[in-house]
Structure 1
Amino acid sequence: MNAEQQNSTKGIDKFLNGIEKVGNKLPDPAMIFLFAMLLIWVLSAIFSQLTFSAIDPRTDAPIVVNNLLTGDALAGFLASMVKTFTGFAPLGVVLVAMLGVGVAEHSGYINTALKLMLKRTPKMLLTPSVILIAIVSHTATDAGYVLVIPLAGVIFFAMGRHPLVGIAAAFAGVSGGFSANFIPSGIDPLLQSFTQIGAETIDPTIQVNALNNWAFTSASSLFIVLLGWYITDKIIEPRLANVKVDGNTDDLPSFDEITDKERHGFYLATAVMLAGIGLLTYAAWGADSPLRGATGSLTEFSAPLMQSIVPLIFLLFWVPGIVYGFKVGTFKSSGDMIASMTKAMNGMSYYVVMAFFCALFIAAFNQSNLGALLAIEGAQVLKALSLPSAVTIVGIVFLTAFVNLFVGSSSAKWALLAPIFVPMLMQLGISPDLTQAAYRVGDSSSNIITPLMPYFPLVVVYCQKYVKDTGIGTLIAMMIPYSIAFLIGWTLFLLAYWGIGISFDIPLGVQSSYSYPG
C-alpha cells in the first residue's frame, strides 16, 4: 500500500471513528426512540397548524399533518399502547423464530451443522458466500434478519475472524441488498401493484408485469456480492481488527472434532428436516393447494405459504433440534427442550424492551403523517426541477434513499411516491419499469444506516453479544461504507445497465421496457 492509499485509509478510519464516537454518546437506543417519539408529538402539533398544497396520492386531497398532542390523540395513544406493542411485526417474527432456533442451537444441531459447513467452505470465499446467502434469504421474508445475520457472526468467529465483520457483511446483504435477488419474492408483485396504479393515471390500458425488474435485480445480486465483498475485506475488517471481543461467548458453539454420535444425530435430524420440506413441497405443488393465494401464486404476500414463513422457520429448526438433542443425549426429557427455549428468550429480553419504545415511535411517526409530507414535498421539488432523464433517475435514487431514513417500509414509501414519480417520468419518456428499478436502488442503499428500520435494534443486540459497548453509532459507522458504496455504485450500475440494455436489447425484466411508450 503506497503513502496515498495509507492516507486515504486513515482518513476513512478517522471519519468512521468520529461517527461511532458521536453515535455512541447518544442515550441507550430504547431512550432514543422514546425521545424521538416525544419530538414527533411536538412537531406534529406545530406542522398541523400549517396548510400544504401537496396532494396526498392516498386520498387525492391536500396532505394534512395530524396533531398528536390533542386530548383525543393522547387518549387513543394510551388505549392502543398494548396493541401497538404486541402488533409490532418484527417482535412476533423474532420471538417465534428464535424459539425454534433456540432448540436447534442448545441441542447442538446448529453447532454440528456449522462445523460440517466450515470444513467445506474455503476461507477466502466465506465473505461472498455469506453475502449471497443473505441476499437469497429475502425470498423467505424476514428469515435473513433472524437467521443469517446472527449465524454469520458465529461462523466468522469460528473461522478466527472478527464476528462483527460477519454481522456487517450479512446485514449488508440482507438489508442493503434488499432489491438484489435472482429469485422472485413477494416484494415484486407488491411494488408492481403501486407502479400499475401510478402508470394508469397516464395510460389506463397499460399493464405492468410483476417481474418487470427481475433481470436487473438478478444482475444486481452479482454486483452487490462483489462490491460487498470488497468493502467487507478491505475496509470493515481492517477497521475492526483491534476491536476486542469482550462479550459473553461462552455459550457459542465449540468447533472441536465431530464425534460419530454427533454425525449420526445430525444426519438423522437433517433427514427429518428434508422429509418435512418434501411434505411441504408436496402440499404446495397442486394448483388447488390451500397454500396458494387467490391468484394461484405461492409467492404473493397474501398466499398462506408466505404468511407461514416464520412458523415454518420455527418448525424447521425446532423439530430437527429435538431429534438431534434426544439422539445425541443433550436432551434427556421434554423439560430440557423447554429449558432451551427459555434460554433463547432470556437472550432476547433487551430486544423486547427496545422493541416496545421502537413500536411506539414508529406508530406515532406514521400517525402524524410527517414522513408522508417529507416524501411528497421532496418528490414535488424533484418534479419542478425538470432535469434531463438520466439526471432525474439519479435524483429519484437519492431522494428515495433520503426518504428511506424516515419512512422504513418499502411498500409504504412506494405507495406515496409511485403516483408522483411514475406518471412524471412517463411524460419524460421513461417507462414505469425503469422508474421502479431506480426506486428499488435508493430504497435498499440506505436501509442499513437508519435506526428507524424495524430490525436495526435487533442487529445492535447481535453485535452486543460479542462487543458489550456496541451502540447505534458503532453499527452505523460499520454500515456507512456499504451504504455509500451501494448508493453510488448501484446507481452507476443502473445507468450502465440502462445504456447497455438499450444497445443490446437486454430487458429490465419480464415484459418490460426502458422508454414510454415502449
Structure 2
Amino acid sequence: METGTATREGGLLGKFLNGIEKAGNKLPDPAVIFLLAMVLIWGLSALFSRFEFSAIDPRTGEAIVVHNLLTGDSLAGFLANMVKTFTSFAPLGVVLVAMLGVGVAEHSGFINTGLKMMLKVTPARLLTPSIILIAIVSHTATDAGYVLVIPLAGVIFYAMGRHPLAGIAAAFAGVSGGFGANFVPSGLDPLLQSFTQSAAQIIDPEIAINPLNNWFFASASSLLIVLLGWYLTDKVIEPRLANTPIDGDTSNLPKFDEAGTREKQGFLLAVTVMVAGLVLLYLAASPADSPLRAKSGNLSDFSAPLMQSIVPLIFLLFWIPGAVYGFYVGTFKKSKDMIDAMSKSMGSMAYYIVMAFFCALFIAAFSQSNLGALLAIEGAEVLKALALPSAVTIVGIIFLTAFVNLFVGSSSAKWALLGPIFVPMLMQLNISPDLTQAAYRVGDSGSNIITPLMPYFPLVVVYCQKYVKNTGIGTLIAMMLPFSVVFLVGWTAFLLLYWTLGFPLGLQASYTYGL
C-alpha cells in the first residue's frame, strides 16, 4: 500500500499522470466530446475548403481537396444518412453480436467456472504476462480482443485479489498497444502487404511483396511487448492504482473459490461441445474448395468468408457452450432464462451504444471532410523534404504515424494514405518496402491506447466503470500513457537494433532495395 501511495501521490511520474487524469476527467462526457468534435470538424471543413492544396492524394492521384460539410447539400446528406451512419458503424455490430453470446456464457456461469479452474493452475507471478500474451494472440481473430480479452482480464485480476483496472490496462496494452506484434499470422498481414505492394509498384511495377514479410519481426516484437507490458503493469500501473477504491457493482463477478463437482462436470461438457464445434469448423475449412476460403484459396485473406465470420463464430462458440453449461448445472431452467441473459448483456452496453452513436457521426464527418487525409499527406511531405539519414527517417516515420494515428484510427486507411508516400520515398534511399512497413506497424500501434478517437476506446472506459464508477477519459489516458511512451520508444529502439543485427524481417523480406 505504501508503494502505491508513493507512486500515485509523489514523484514526477506520479504527479504528471495525476495531472493528466484530473485534466482529462474534467472534460465533458465522451459522447459530448464526440458531438463537439463533429461540430468543430464542420467548422474547420468550411474554413479549409476555401484553400487549394498542392499535396497529391495517393488514392486519387489528384490534389487533396477539403470538402465543406456546412453546405446545404452536405447537411441534408448528414440528416438523410444519420441512421445508416450509426447502424453501419463497424465496432457497434462487432461488440453487440459478440456480447450476445458472451452474455449467455457469463450469466450461465460458464465463464466464471472456467476462470476459477484456470486461476487454480496459473502461477500468480505469471498472470500479467499470460494476459498480455493472450491479448497479442487475439489479433488473429480481428477485434475479438476488445470484446473478450480486455473485460475478462479485469475479471481475472479481480478474482485474484488484484486491482481489476490493472488487468484491463495490461490487456488493452497487448490488444491495442501491441497491435503490430503477433507470432501467429493474421488478416493484418495480407492487408498491409496489399497496400505496400501497390505503393512499391509506383517505382518498380514488377516487385512482389510476401504477405508474411514482417512475420519474424512481429513474432520477436511479441516477446518485447510482453516484457515491457509486464514490467509497467506490475511496477508502475498497479501500485499507482492501490489507493483507487473499487466502488462498482461486482456482485456478479466470480470469487476465487473452488468450483463444485457439478460445475466442473458442466464445464467439461460445455468445453467438449466447444471443441467439437471447432473440429467441425476445421473440417469445413480444410478442403481447397471450401466455401469458407477466399477465391485465391487462402483462409487468412480479409475477403475469406471465414475471416468475415469471426464475430458470428465468437457468438456461437460462447452461446452454445454457455447454454449447455447453464442447463446442465441448473442456472438456466427454461429457454427464457437464456434470452434474459442476453438481454442483461445488452443492458450493460447501453452507455456504449450512446457513445457509439456520436462516435460514428464524428468519424464519418472527419472522413468526409478529408481533413485527416490532408494531415497525413502534409506531414509525410514535410518528412520527405527533410531528407534525413535512413535510420532517422525510419524513426520519423514511426513517430509521424503515431501522431496521425491520434486522428485517423483505421490502420488500413492510414497506410493507404502514407504508404504511397513512404514506400517509394524510402525505396529511392535503398530502403526496402519490407522495412518501411515494419516501421509503420510500430508507429501504428503505440498511440492506439491514448486516443479517445479510437473506436473501441469508449468501450474500454465502460469496462473500467464496472469497477470504478467515476472512471473517465482522463483516467484511462493516464493509465495507458506509460505503455504508449515506453512501447513507442522501446519498440523503435528494438527495430533499429533488429535492423543493425540483420535479423530477417519475414519471408522473402530484405532491408535494402537496389534501384
Shorter-normalised TM-score: what interval? over 0.9
Distance 2:492 2:256 in 1: 41
1:37-89 CA distance string (max 9 Å, x none): 00000000000001100000011010000000000000000000000000000
Displacement after TM superposition at 1:256 (Å): 2.4
8 Å CA contact 2:8–2:240 kept in 1: the answer is: no
Give the drift of 1:8: 12
Q: Is the 8 A contact 1:111 1:255 kept in 2?
A: no
Q: 1:397 to 1:32 in 2, by over 3 A?
A: same
Q: 1:515 aligns with which of 504, 512, 515?
A: 512
The residue that corresponds to 1:223 in the other structure is 224
**Partner residue in 2 for 1:376:** 377
Measure the CA separation in 2 of the matches of 1:361 and 1:481: 27
Instruction: Give the Cα–Cα distance (whole angstroms) in 1 for the partners of residues 203 and 265 of structure 2.
Output: 63
Distance 2:31 2:252 in 1: 26
**Displacement of 1:252:** 1.4
Q: Name the SS of the counterpart of 2:359 in structure 1.
A: helix
> Quick one: distance in 2 between partners of 1:255 and 1:363?
44
What are the within-5 Å matches in structure 2 for residues 103-142 of structure 1? 103-142=104-143
State the SS of the aligned residue for 2:81.
Answer: helix
> Counterpart of 1:425 in 2: which secondary structure?
helix
Matches within 5 A, 1:126-205: 126-205=127-206
Once the two structures are TM-superposed, the CA of residue 388 in structure 1 deviates from its matched residue by 0.2
Give the partner amino acid of 1:96: V
Residue aligning to 2:210 = 209
Q: Residue 461 of structure 1 corresponds to which residue in structure 2?
A: 462
Q: Which runs of 5+ in 1 are unaligned?
A: none
State the alpha-carbon separation in 1 of the partners of residues 214 and 343 from structure 2: 43
| Offset from partner CA, 1:408-458 (integer Å, 9 cap, x none) | 000000000010000000001100000000011000000000111110000
The Cα of 1:254 is off from its aligned counterpart by 3.2
- 1:278 partner amino acid: V
Give how far 1:10 is off.
1.3
- 1:102 aligns to what? 103
Report if the CA contact (8 A) 2:8-2:241 is conserved.
no
Separation in 1, partners of 2:197, 2:327 = 53
- What is the TM-score of this pair, normalised by structure 1? 0.98
Q: Could you tell me which residue of structure 2 aligns to residue 474 of structure 1?
A: 475
User: Equivalent residue for 1:490?
Assistant: 491
1:367 alignment partner in structure 2:
368
State the Cα deviation string for residues 77-126 of structure 1 (Å, max 9, x = none).
Answer: 00000000000000010000000000000000001000000001000000
Query: How far, CA to CA, are the matches of 2:364 and 2:11 in structure 1?
Result: 41
Superposed CA deviations along residues 435-490 of structure 1, whole A, max 9, x for unmatched, are 00001100000000011111000000000000000000000000000000000000
| Alpha-carbon distance in structure 2 between the residues aligned to 1:341 and 1:461 | 18
TM-aligned CA distance change 1:7 to 1:136, over 3 Å: closer
Q: Within 1, Cα distance between the matches of 2:509 and 2:63?
A: 33
Q: In the TM superposition, what whole-angstrom CA distance separates every residue of 1:354-392 from its partner, at most 9, and x where no partner exists?
A: 000000000000000000000000000000000000000
Amino acid at match of 2:469: K
SS of equivalent residue, structure 1 residue 201: coil
Q: Is the 8 A contact 2:8 2:14 kept in 1?
A: no
Stretches (4+) displaced over 6 A: 5-9
Name the CA distance, whole Å, in 1 between partners of 2:325 and 2:8: 52
C-alpha offsets along residues 216-248 of structure 1, whole Å, 9 cap, x if unaligned?
000000010001101111110110010000011
Give distance in 2, aligned partners of 1:349 and 1:480: 27
Q: Percent identity?
A: 77
> Which residue of structure 1 aligns with residue 425 of structure 2?
424
TM-score using structure 2 length: 0.98
Deviation at 1:9, TM superposition (A): 6.6
